[in-house]
Structure 1
Amino acid sequence: MAQDAEDPGTRIALWDNGVPGHEERREIAQVSREYWTRQVNDPAIVHFPAAAGTGTGASVVIMPGGAHEFLVTTTEGTDVARWFAARGVSAFVLYYRLANEEVSPWDIEDARQDAERAVRLIRARADQFALDPHKIGVMGFSAGGELARMTLLSPPVPPEGAGDALDRGDARPDFGILVFPGPMHGDVEDTGPGAPPLLLSAAADDECCSQPVIDIFLAYRAAGGSAELHIYQEGGHAYNMGEASDLVSLQRWPGRIEDWMVDRGLMAPRQP
């Protein structure tokens, strides 16, 4: 069964009653246009389950880019989610709070909290989603890659106040895919043998975001972590899944994601 190209997915709020301490902001309407979303005040994940009969038990939280000013929710969000779902990997597009949006009350720590809570929520409901709680990954593009990097490698952000039962769960993903991530990162990073395996990708002519993947790869190699790096000769920024590129190497780049996941044992059919 092919994934419906028009399927909008199922929205799941990260907090039932809105962000603790900011519950009133959930009444502010989120704004979406052709390819972007702004004014995220009630953060959520949008679920795209694996196509019927294909489930591997693996899942991925997709973090769109947009300079923390907006979210590119199509080519770095829902389109990517449908690609994964068609291959047996359940996908969740994260609508996280935006630190650089004009007149935003949020900062990067709030966005990190959203990412960490998404991982915790999926892990806590793994049985409900027919997922393996030990095969939950994150994938981030550009600014979303920064957020994914911090979720993977840095200690979690403490919740505001006492938190809830979900806040006490494990927020660390089991694997990560960072696609031209920006340079922002946490103050402390664990890149050693116990760190989640990473797939890293960027274009050499991307002045913003090719160096971060090189730095991460070298840190992993020095510390004994598991990382695979793909640097394309050209492609600039935001080649995403290669959908708009004239370069065959970038058009075929999604195949490298699938190869890497197969090698990690993430694509085998889920055992009942």
Structure 2
Amino acid sequence: MHKITFTIIALSCMSVFQTKAQEVIPLYANAVPNAKQVAMEEKSELGKDGILRISHVTVPTLTVFTPPAGKANGTAVIICPGGAYSILAFSHEGIDVAKQFNEWGVTAFVLKYRLPDDSIMVDKTMGPLQDAQRAIQFVRENRKQWHIQSNRIGIAGFSAGGHLASTAGTHFKQAYIDNPHKTSLRPDFMVLGYPVISFSKELMHAGSRKNLLGAKPTAEQDKFFSNELQVTPQTPPTFLVHAKDDAAVPPGNSLVFAEALKKNGVEATTYLYEKGGHGFGMHNHTSTVKWMDQLHTWMQQHRWVK
């Protein structure tokens, strides 16, 4: 297993986070599947809004965040930052969230996944899902290294990262990566923040749909990636959060997914803010309610945290 050790310094609007000697693991030990051999330089930019944005990813990785000594509880979560399948909002929808999970004893893995691009992928529609499946496979197969239990590995995602997480949570029966050990690719739970779910005309986020599927997707592609249509009784229990005034990704995305889950007998909890817009990460500053507290209670109820 190849590892990289480095220091992350990520600025946010509220504070500065620094993690020393953070472990960064290339997602694939050998060749990256579905990849074209082209040169592309990855880009990282810290915006004036304090958000670290990463683009042009050709080497997907997992950045590991471990709980304080003696606090790990056997639960893990893979975090997919959002960014309309164009960039990765790596700080407030990745690093910051991972550190909060650590406080609850959860080992967190921030996924730097490939963004759909015809110039670097044979089939750009499948690249992100392959990386999400590989992340679940990797964590499950190497769980003993971090004292993780095999049935306590979840996935979280925000915006388009929520689409990716829900795609992994509804398409796990088919492996789109090599899986010689038949490792389960099903996440045990999902946490979806203002997620893109549907590519229907009424609910879709046009930018995410275009970036993933191209300008003229087929009806079959729209259906395949409209994850409310892919829910089964085996879909993992899910916590969703959304703001009613989200003008970018309509809150109906969360509502139709929760409805589909409940129709299939799958537990779903949805927290809706009256205001907050889109992209607020862990902190909706229009409300005194902290949705992460709601999530913590939900995870306690399922015994994923104490």
1:91 aligned partner: 108
2:162 aligned partner: 145
3-state DSSP of counterpart to 1:66: coil
3-state DSSP of counterpart to 1:245: coil
1:189 aligned partner: 230
Aligned partners of 1:142 and 1:209 also within 8 Å = no
- One-letter amino acid of the structure 1 residue matched with residue 72 of structure 2: G
Question: Does 1:178 find its partner at 2:219?
Answer: no
Partners in 2 of 1:246 and 1:190 — Cα distance?
32
- Bigger Cα displacement from structure 2, 8-17 vs 181-190: 181-190
Aligned partners of 1:18 and 1:42 also within 8 Å = no
Count matched residues: 256
3-state DSSP of counterpart to 1:123: helix
Cα separation, partners in 2 of 1:63 and 1:262, compared to 1, 3 Å: same
Question: Does 1:200 find its partner at 2:229?
Answer: no
Cα separation, partners in 2 of 1:139 and 1:224, compared to 1, 3 Å: same
Partners in 1 of 2:107 and 2:297 — Cα distance?
17
1:171 shift after superposition: 0.7
Question: Does 1:39 find its partner at 2:56?
Answer: yes
Cα separation, partners in 2 of 1:136 and 1:110, compared to 1, 3 Å: same
- One-letter amino acid of the structure 2 residue matched with residue 30 of structure 1: E
Partners in 2 of 1:86 and 1:267 — Cα distance?
10
Partners in 2 of 1:93 and 1:43 — Cα distance?
11
| One of 108, 112, 123 as aligned partner of 2:140 | 123
1:216 aligned partner: 257
- One-letter amino acid of the structure 1 residue matched with residue 17 of structure 2: A
3-state DSSP of counterpart to 2:19: coil
| Residue deviations 1:39-61 (CA, integer Å, cap 9, x gap) | 11111111101221111110100
Query: Structure 1 regions of 5+ residues with no counterpart?
Result: none
Aligned partners of 2:156 and 2:192 also within 8 Å = yes
| TM-score when normalising by structure 1 | 0.87
Aligned partners of 2:238 and 2:267 also within 8 Å = yes
3-state DSSP of counterpart to 2:235: coil
Partners in 2 of 1:189 and 1:114 — Cα distance?
19
1:189 shift after superposition: 1.5
2:91 aligned partner: 74
3-state DSSP of counterpart to 1:165: coil
Partners in 2 of 1:221 and 1:118 — Cα distance?
27
Partners in 2 of 1:196 and 1:130 — Cα distance?
22
Aligned partners of 1:98 and 1:108 also within 8 Å = no
1:33 shift after superposition: 1.5
Aligned partners of 1:176 and 1:197 also within 8 Å = yes
- One-letter amino acid of the structure 1 residue matched with residue 41 of structure 2: A
Query: Structure 2 regions of 5+ residues with no counterpart?
Result: 1-15, 47-51, 200-224
CA RMSD of aligned residues (A): 2.2
Partners in 1 of 2:231 and 2:162 — Cα distance?
16
2:26 aligned partner: 13
Aligned partners of 1:116 and 1:156 also within 8 Å = no
Question: Does 1:258 find its partner at 2:274?
Answer: no
1:28 shift after superposition: 3.7
3-state DSSP of counterpart to 2:100: helix
1:217 shift after superposition: 1.0
Partners in 1 of 2:91 and 2:37 — Cα distance?
28
1:154 shift after superposition: 2.0
3-state DSSP of counterpart to 1:108: coil
| TM-score when normalising by structure 2 | 0.78
Partners in 2 of 1:95 and 1:137 — Cα distance?
16
Cα separation, partners in 2 of 1:245 and 1:151, compared to 1, 3 Å: same
1:158 shift after superposition: 4.0
Partners in 2 of 1:39 and 1:226 — Cα distance?
36
Partners in 1 of 2:235 and 2:120 — Cα distance?
33
Aligned partners of 1:40 and 1:97 also within 8 Å = yes
- One-letter amino acid of the structure 2 residue matched with residue 69 of structure 1: S
